[in-house]
Amino acid sequence: MAPVTSLITRLRERADRDSGMTIVELVVSMSIFTIVITIFMGALISMAHTTSEAQRRVDAANSLRASFSAMDRQVRYASSINRPVRGPSGDWYVEFELTDLPAGQAPLCYQWRLDDDAETVAYRTWRRDGTSSASNWVTIAWNVARVGSGSPFTFASADDSRMRQSLTLELAATQTEPSAAVDLSTTFVARNSSTASTTNADANSDGVSDNQVCIAGLGRP
């Protein structure tokens, strides 16, 4: 009988091993799995958010730099810069004129605009020859806004302490988290301007150049 008893015992032990998990064990296993998945998904979402925010900051900074780069190329050769003003639509404008050009070329005008509603910075050009019309607006930056409540353009006249006029552009990106704001400010010097530039004077201190350039017939829409 001993061999039979031993066989029965081994069969019972095998049956016990093959009986599977109990309900309690299954519930515990599922709970642990759920916790692990929750932690993993939370980390994955956080990583995706961080990556997305970093990309937005890069895009915003690149957009701002494009504005500064374009204005730098233009303002550096200007002979006169108007004091910035706010147009009837509420947008901010500034104009400047290039007169140091090859013989036979009419003065070249630039007009820059910050559209508060569209959150864009754009410019257009034309020749001051009495017949040329302005080009279409060229948008340089998107998702940008003023820093604070004032003008994004700041003018400094040429006087006894400054030999050249200058224009400061300050913009903030709007598509970033407040804690990761991107603001840039740069000052550009008009190398061909001087104390004799026609736009220096503002006798009544109204913030508008007494003698403005590059607005006849076009204005600030």
Q: 14 and 91 share a domain?
A: no
Q: How far does Cα 104 stand from its chain's mean position? A: 39
The answer to whether position 59 is within a domain reads: no
Lowest-pLDDT range, 17-21, 80-84, 104-108, 161-165? 17-21
For residues 186-218, b (16+ Cβ closer than 10 Å) or e, as one string? bebbbebbeeebebbeeeeeeeebeebbbeeee
Total structural domains within the chain: 2
Q: 179 and 129 share a domain?
A: yes
pLDDT at 206 over 90: yes
Mean of the pLDDT values across residues 121-144? 91
Query: What are phi and psi for residue 88, nearest 5 degrees?
Result: -55, -30
Boundaries of domain holding 42:
2-52
pLDDT, the chain, mean: 85
Say which residue, 181 or 165, is predicted with more confidence: 165
Say which residue, 27 or 121, is predicted with more confidence: 121
The CA distances from residue 193 to 64, 123, 143, 161, in Å, are: 26, 21, 32, 14
Lowest-pLDDT range, 8-12, 92-96, 150-154? 8-12
Reported as a single tens digit per residue, the pLDDT across 27-86 is 778 888 888 888 877 777 777 666 666 666 677 677 778 888 889 999 999 999 999 999
Provide the percentage of residues in the chain whose pLDDT is more than 90. 48
- Residue 19 — pLDDT band, cuts 50, 70, 90? low
Q: 137 and 181 share a domain?
A: yes
Q: 26 and 85 share a domain?
A: no
pLDDT at 189 over 90: yes
The answer to whether position 180 is within a domain reads: yes
Predicted confidence at residue 41, as pLDDT, reads 79
